[in-house]
């Protein structure tokens, strides 16, 4: 072992216990390149957990809050979301990816990365962390190692991911693991990343590694999250399973539980769906889907925690999460306002003080940044990290190594004038087409303009690292190979009338219970050109049962009318996008044309552009 930095005997012993020459070689390489003053290898023990928690406080990367176990962390004001512009897949010569995937020449990218990493950890402590993606000791397991100089990254990763030392021992010296190298880079006096202009993320599919530097925001620095999601997608598409940007949840009706997965672009209701009252959560963000020995689709949560948006979480609308992030337990909160060590965030249901400290430093109402933009008390993309098992609604199968059998898959988008609140696809292949046609207004979860309509196949476009044609083909094949494929649905919670949302935030529970009923063949439905939609009587009964309120026929008809013109415009947009993509499966184009034909036939039959749901009965 040739590690040219201070390393204690305990760290050396942990590496010897893992007994993997590839692990040691990687550490040696980046110690020599990054030049840290000290190297600490973290294990699975409580002692190591306490060490990293204390180090985050000592380094002033976190500060204690009033509630026991809670800490606050701040990222640089200009580092509050994933930086798409400076995130690239390293592309070897001769290989091609979809034009929507940002790539850089492999050698050019590696050279830039190594140049930026040179000496980046001088005077700092390098932390080496071992984790497991997916439940331990299962067919879902992927060992993953992260090297970082940020104690809060290591701390939040310990909350979000399962322990991994055992998984690395089981490799028996194999190099079949992911690895991530991260540095927050040079820091400002307030402990935030200084060289934002040199913020970079490089995805290396050849070596199954990610190199990330000069950032702190969790989506860019916590390597096992969206960074390793890309590596997992690459591996899944080589091995005939699916890695998806999906929650996994249990939907309960009496003694019956039906498991759903769901893919929603950021700020489209993903976490709030996974946390609907009365249901149970397996995971809120990333899922592995495989075929089990009986031919069914089973899913497992890649993570053991939640890195969720905190804005608008309040006791009324999100009671389970609100309780968890306001009561004693281990929680890290990022980029919210604090006053006297008490956190405040947008939409929390309490009056927010007029001044305090936030991601911009000392804050006061009316404060503007250098560009004249008003600074909110907490950032709209402020986050929290906590363990799923700390939630009252954690599912009993959250860590089941066999996964859970999937009855339904939900694809959610975000638009104000086109897509109905809930619809069931006509078949598996049609459902894949629906998922591949997701559109959503852009949000603050990624740096750039808000309110722009984006296309995001399976809500995964930001993380796709394989050609779109390959990705869709593998989805089609995955369902075809199952003895019983899950039922696929589409949702849209953001339909508007006169600029106001038509449905309340809690109405999604009715859509969810209707989907659960459809999977279990309890409800009939109306067949429309875009799929099966609910009957009014069934939704009326659900609203009465769930909310003790009337769901008016007027609201039903407005929400579930088929707007031919808008839907045809969407198909035109989708067709235009996919025309430029090579090797899209013919079955995709077939479903697009069939849906267009059904819409035109309906317009001709009923002689109007907006068709009421009752017209199709």
Q: Is residue 75 part of a domain?
A: no
pLDDT 10s digits, 395-409:
999 999 999 999 999
Annotation says 243 is catalytic: no
Q: Is residue 65 part of a domain?
A: no
pLDDT 10s digits, 26-46:
999 999 999 999 999 999 999
Q: Is residue 70 part of a domain?
A: no
Q: Is the same domain home to 349 and 367?
A: yes
pLDDT 10s digits, 295-344:
999 999 999 999 999 999 999 888 899 999 999 999 999 999 999 999 99
Q: Is the same domain home to 383 and 324?
A: yes
Q: Is the same domain home to 376 and 411?
A: no
CB-based contact 161:143 (threshold 8 Å): no
CATH number at residue 284: 3.90.228.20
CB-based contact 159:313 (threshold 8 Å): no
pLDDT for the residue numbered 266: 77
Q: Is the same domain home to 200 and 334?
A: no
- Closest by CA to 561, choosing from 412, 438, 420, is 420
Q: Is the same domain home to 206 and 107?
A: yes
Angle between helical axes of 553-560 and 536-547 (0-180°, round to 10): 120
- Of the listed 34, 129, 268, 297, which one is catalytic? 268
Determine the Cα–Cα distance for residues 263 and 248; give it in Å rounded to an integer: 10
Q: Is the same domain home to 136 and 98?
A: yes
Domain boundary among 347, 368, 390: 390
Q: Is the same domain home to 375 and 415?
A: no
Q: Is residue 77 part of a domain?
A: no
| pLDDT at 443 > cutoff 70 | no
Q: Is residue 73 part of a domain?
A: no
Q: Is the same domain home to 56 and 192?
A: yes
pTM: 0.93
H or E element: which one contains 558? helix 553-560
CATH number at residue 190: 3.40.449.10
Q: Is the same domain home to 22 and 110?
A: yes
Q: Is the same domain home to 448 and 372?
A: no
pLDDT 10s digits, 536-564:
999 999 999 999 999 999 999 999 999 99
Q: Is residue 320 part of a domain?
A: yes
User: Which residues make beta-bridge pairs with 162?
Assistant: 132
pLDDT for the residue numbered 445: 46
Query: Quick count: other Cβ atoms within 10 Å of Cβ 304?
Result: 23
Number of domain units in the chain = 3
Which residues, other chains included, contact 183 with Cβ-Cβ below 8 Å and sequence gap of 6+? Answer: 34, 117, 120, 121, 148, 149, 150, 212, 213, 214
Burial of 39 (0-12, 13-18, 19+ CB in 10 A): buried
pLDDT for the residue numbered 325: 97
Q: Is the same domain home to 187 and 326?
A: no
Q: Is 588 helix (H, G, I), strand (E, B) or coil?
A: helix
Q: Is the same domain home to 567 and 539?
A: yes
Rounded mean pLDDT, 586-591: 96
Q: Return mean pLDDT, the chain.
A: 95
Domain boundary among 369, 390, 411: 390
pLDDT for the residue numbered 442: 58
| pLDDT at 230 > cutoff 70 | yes
Range(s) of the domain holding residue 357:
308-390
pLDDT 10s digits, 116-148:
999 999 999 999 999 999 999 999 999 999 999
Domain boundary among 362, 390, 418: 390
Confidence of residue 489 (pLDDT cuts 50, 70, 90): very high
Q: Is residue 150 part of a domain?
A: yes
Q: Is residue 107 part of a domain?
A: yes
| pLDDT at 511 > cutoff 70 | yes
pLDDT 10s digits, 181-198:
999 999 999 999 999 999
Which residues, other chains included, contact 403 with Cβ-Cβ below 8 Å and sequence gap of 6+? Answer: 135, 138, 140, 288, 290, 292, 298, 299, 300, 397
């Amino acid at each position: 072992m040739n590690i040219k930095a201070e390393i204690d005997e305990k760290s050396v012993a942990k590496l010897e216990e893992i007994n993997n020459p590839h692990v040691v070689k990687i550490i040696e390489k980046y110690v020599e390149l990054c030049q840290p003053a000290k190297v600490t290898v973290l294990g699975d023990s409580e002692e190591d957990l306490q060490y990293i928690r204390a180090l985050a406080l000592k380094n002033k990367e976190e500060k204690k809050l009033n509630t026991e176990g809670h800490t606050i962390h701040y990222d640089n004001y200009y580092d509050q979301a994933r930086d798409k512009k400076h995130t690239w897949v390293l592309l070897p010569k001769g290989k091609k990816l979809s034009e929507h995937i940002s790539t850089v020449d492999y050698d050019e990218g590696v050279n830039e990365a190594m140049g930026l990493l040179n000496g980046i950890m001088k005077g700092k402590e390098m932390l080496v962390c071992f984790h497991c993606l997916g439940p331990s000791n299962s067919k879902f397991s992927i060992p993953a190692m992260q090297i970082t100089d940020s104690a809060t990254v290591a701390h939040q990763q310990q909350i979000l991911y399962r322990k991994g030392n055992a998984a690395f021992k089981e490799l028996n010296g194999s190099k079949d693991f992911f690895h991530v190298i991260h540095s927050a880079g040079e820091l400002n006096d307030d402990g935030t990343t200084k060289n934002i202009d040199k913020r970079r993320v490089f995805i290396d599919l050849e070596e199954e590694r990610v190199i990330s530097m000069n950032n702190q925001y969790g989506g860019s620095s916590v390597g096992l999250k969206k960074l390793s999601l890309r590596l997992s997608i690459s591996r899944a598409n080589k091995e005939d399973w699916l890695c998806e940007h999906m929650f996994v949840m249990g939907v309960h009706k009496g003694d019956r539980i039906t498991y759903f997965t769901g893919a929603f672009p950021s700020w489209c209701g993903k976490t709030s769906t996974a946390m609907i009252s009365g249901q149970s959560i397996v995971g809120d963000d990333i899922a592995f889907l495989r075929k089990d020995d009986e031919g069914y689709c089973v899913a497992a949560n890649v993570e053991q925690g939640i890195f969720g948006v905190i804005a608008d979480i309040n006791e009324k609308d999100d009671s389970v999460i609100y309780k968890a992030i306001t009561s004693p337990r281990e929680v890290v909160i990022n980029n919210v306002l604090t006053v006297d060590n008490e956190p405040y965030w947008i939409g929390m249901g309490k009056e927010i003080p007029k001044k305090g400290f936030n991601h911009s430093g000392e804050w006061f109402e009316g404060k503007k940044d250098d560009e004249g933009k008003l600074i909110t008390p907490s950032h709209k993309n402020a986050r929290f990290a906590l363990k799923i098992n700390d939630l009252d609604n954690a599912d009993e199968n959250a860590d089941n190594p066999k996964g859970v059998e999937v009855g339904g898959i939900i694809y959610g988008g975000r638009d104000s004038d086109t897509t109905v609140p809930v619809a069931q696809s006509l078949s598996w292949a049609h459902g894949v087409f629906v998922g591949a046609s997701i559109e959503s207004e852009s949000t603050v979860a990624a740096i750039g303009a808000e309110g722009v309509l984006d296309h995001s196949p399976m809500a995964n476009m930001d993380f796709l690292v394989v050609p779109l044609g390959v990705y869709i083909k593998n989805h089609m094949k995955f369902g075809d190979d199952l003895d019983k494929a899950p039922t696929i649905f589409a949702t849209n919670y953001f339909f508007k009338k006169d600029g106001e949302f038509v449905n309340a935030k809690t109405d999604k529970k009715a859509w969810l219970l209707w989907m659960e009923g459809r999977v279990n063949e309890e409800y009939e439905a109306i067949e429309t050109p875009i799929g099966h939609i609910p009957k009014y009587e069934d939704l009326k009964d659900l609203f009465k049962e769930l909310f003790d309120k009337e769901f008016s026929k007027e609201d039903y008809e407005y929400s579930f009318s088929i707007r031919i013109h808008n839907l045809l415009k969407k198909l035109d947009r989708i067709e235009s996008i996919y025309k430029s993509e090579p090797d899209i499966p013919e079955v995709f184009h077939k479903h697009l044309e069939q849906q267009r034909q059904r819409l035109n036939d309906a317009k001709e039959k009923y002689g109007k552009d907006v068709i009421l749901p009752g017209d199709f009965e």
